[in-house]
Amino acid sequence: MSEAIRTFDSAVHGEQQEEIPCPLCGGRNTDEVLIARDLLFAKPGTYPLVRCQACTMEYVSPRPTGASLGAHYPDDYFGYSLHEDAPAWLRPFLQSMAKGISRKRIAYLEQTTGRIAEDTDILDVGCGVNRLLECIRDERGVTGTGIDFKPEIVQYVREKLQMPIMEGSLDSAGLPAESYDVVFMMEYIEHELHPRAVLEEARRVLRPGGHLALEIPYAGAWIGRFFGRFWWNLDIPRHLIFFTPKTLEEMLDQCGFELVKINPFTLPLYVGMSIVQALGLRHWRKYEGLYPILSSFLALPLLPFQWLMPEFLFVVARAK
């Protein structure tokens, strides 16, 4: 297995980049899936999404190095947006959508684990503004712990929500072994430069028989292939690795997990975001509140059919 990573400076992107071997099997022979641009922040340069010829793992290479990656997460990145920042008339809509997403995540986990018990030790890696743990606390009476690397977000969760949170990464947290029953990583692992190391660390902090819940973009979903480089869930270069059920099962197995359940799903009207991008209406983003409304409007005729368009996977794996 070749681990050599080639690092270089890209003048076009204005950043340091690295070319990596396949994160799953270490292979070097790849086919090009597509060439992506950063459609969210319109930065210069392109990024190839490649597929390993040996194991079919899809990943971005060359990609920004760890040192370059922070520049791709400016303060207005939507993962950090608070409902308080949105226009007042839009807030109830956003709040009920966020609550719906959290409830769905809890339901998917509980399909495998049964109802979350009051003594469950829960960790949410990449918790953002802590909506999931807030919902679990309100509806199951369990206060979990979050981890996020954005200092402003950590301060918000600690001071405004008064909930426990650690600043940094799962790796830097240095948690005791076998101390959690459930680890959530919601739309997190695809952002990681070293997903294998993160999964191994998750396995270490989980008790045997504990559960890892992952939510990720569904690589190989037809909707993603259809929209190609305009697929909203592509979000390169923030998303760096794309799992199919097969490649995910393989990596989980290598990291000490047994895959228990995969739910392919989409969110109401989510496909509208990809339609907006494909129509080149991305600049509507500056009109803040109107943007989700426009994408929802465009997706409305497809609402009865959206169960045919899964573009996320919710995955539950058990620590072996």
What are the residues binding Zn ion (CB under 5 A)?
A: 22, 24-25, 27, 52, 54-55, 57
Cα(168)–Cα(310) distance, integer angstroms: 32
The nearer residue to Zn ion, 27 or 289, going by C-beta atoms, is 27
Nearest distance in Å: CB 190, Zn ion: 17
Nearest distance in Å: CB 140, Zn ion: 39
- Residue that the structure tokens 């939510």 belong to: 215
Nearest distance in Å: CB 247, Zn ion: 8
**Listed residue (295, 311, 316, 313) closest to 234, CA to CA:** 311
Nearest distance in Å: CB 21, Zn ion: 8
The nearer residue to Zn ion, 20 or 269, going by C-beta atoms, is 20
The nearer residue to Zn ion, 56 or 112, going by C-beta atoms, is 56
Cα 224 to chain centroid distance, Å, stands at: 15
The nearer residue to Zn ion, 10 or 56, going by C-beta atoms, is 56
φ/ψ bin of 269: left (φ > 0), alpha (ψ from -120 to 50), beta (otherwise): left
The nearer residue to Zn ion, 175 or 251, going by C-beta atoms, is 251
CA distances from 79 to 98, 116, 232 (A): 12, 26, 14
- Asked if 173 contacts 115 with a C-beta cutoff of 8 angstroms, the reply is no
Nearest distance in Å: CB 295, Zn ion: 35
CA distances from 229 to 35, 48, 201, 291, 316 (A): 7, 10, 32, 20, 28
